[in-house]
Structure 1
Amino acid sequence: MTVTIGITGGIASGKSTVTNYIREKGFEVIDADAIVHELQTKGGKLYQVLLDFYGSKILAPDGELDRQALSEQFFSDEKVRAEVSALQDAIIRQELLARRDALLEKYDLVFMDIPLLFEQDYQSQLNQVWLVYLDPAQQLQRLMKRNGYSKKQAEQRISAQLSLEEKKKRSDKVIDNSGDLLDTYEQIDRLLKEVNHVKK
């Protein structure tokens, strides 16, 4: 029996902390953000899609995507954001599921770190969804501090995603990352034991 578990959460909720720990425990984790960045590099499948849509204003002097400029364009208009997401989604989905299938030929448990898991309807491709939860006020403060955003910029990016409260309702398991790191790790350890027990 093979098992695929999705890890999701809001922006700056601590998904990387959780997935890095899961990797340290010896499990395979597919990082959707890293794959998207790979696809968006010059010559990648998404690079031309974005260039055709936005034009050269999203390019850095070296011809690669200027991620800051792309982010500003992407979050500036909700309608445009939906159009761009739709253009990219099919390519991203194909790549993510192909990598999952390749790993499942070698491993019986694979994790997929997908920030927009519910927004892009990946849950049907997974056995379980684990949410990395953070108090919304903490989430806002962490995002502002981490990215140097103003409150308005941070709120704009948080509101572009499904709320953490709504994601909590739809998830199978919740990892509360509002406390200290040791507490977060203990929660992950308990969940990993549960999964191993189910697989046996």
Structure 2
Amino acid sequence: MSKVIGLTGGIASGKSTVVDFLSSKGYFVIDADKVVRELQEPGGKLAQRILKTFGPRFFESSGVLDRQKLGKFIFSDEAARQKLAELQNQTIREEIYRRKSDLLKIMPEEGIVFMDIPLLFEQNYDGFDEVWLVAVDHEIQLERVMQRDHLSRSEARLRIAAQMSLKEKKKKATRIIDSSGTILETRKIVEQYLLDLESH
């Protein structure tokens, strides 16, 4: 029986390291962020829906979505922000589940699909056999966000605080991958979980 595993984690939690490792092992990974980028490309489903809803002023002549211009507009208009959020969530959700369905049709009987969704809990995604949470010590997370995005400590704190708390996510997760250590240590945790998964 095929298994579907939801994979999530907070900002700078080390989730990309886990995804890269799973991909290198030959597992199917549906990456929600990549799906969003594809949907926003000229002619993409999300780009078309944004064009239909908000008009051509947020697009360059080449058909490329001007994210900065749209971003400025929606942050100054709460109703527009809500409308865009609903539009994005619906379009992304449809596409992610469609891809999952397509993969399950062509996969071997005992195959495993990972669905990498940053806002898995926040957006109430479901339909998983298990949910794996990539978690990291708060202080390490803070340092990583500061380094990666060139932010001050207070700015990094705000970014982290904007997401669901790690404490809440841990309650909802099936398994927790602690990525506070080295990449090798994180991979070992993932390998053990994969062995557990494949032996059941």
Work out whether the TM-score is over 0.5: yes
Residue matched to 1:40: 40
Residue matched to 1:2: 2
In the TM superposition, what are the counterparts of 1:126-165 in structure 2 within 5 Å?
Answer: 126-165=128-167
* Larger Rg, first or second structure (1 or 2): 2
Unaligned runs of 5+ in 1: none
- String of CA shifts for 1:61-116, please: whole Å, max 9, x gaps: 85523455666666788876554322211111111011001111222210000000
Residue matched to 1:110: 113
- Please say if 1:30 is aligned against 2:37: no
Residue matched to 2:199: 197
Residue matched to 1:121: 124
Q: Which one of the candidate residues 165, 178, 184 is aligned to 2:186?
A: 184
Q: 1:102 to 1:59 in 2, by over 3 A?
A: same
Q: Cα distance, 1:35 vs. partner?
A: 0.2
Give the letter for the 1:192 counterpart. Answer: L
Unaligned runs of 5+ in 2: none
Give the letter for the 1:154 counterpart. Answer: A
Q: Tell me how many residue pairs correspond in the alignment.
A: 196
DSSP-derived class of the 1:125 partner: coil
Q: Which moved more, 1:28-37 or 1:42-51?
A: 42-51
Residue matched to 1:170: 172
Q: Cα distance, 1:143 vs. partner?
A: 1.7
Q: Which moved more, 1:110-119 or 1:139-148?
A: 139-148
- String of CA shifts for 1:137-186, please: whole Å, max 9, x gaps: 22222122112234454334323321122111100000001111111010
Give the letter for the 2:121 counterpart. Answer: F
Task: Give the Cα separation in 1 of the matches to 2:97 and 2:76.
Answer: 30
Task: Give the Cα separation in 1 of the matches to 2:155 and 2:56.
Answer: 23
Give the letter for the 1:114 counterpart. Answer: I
Give the letter for the 1:148 counterpart. Answer: H
Give the letter for the 1:173 counterpart. Answer: R
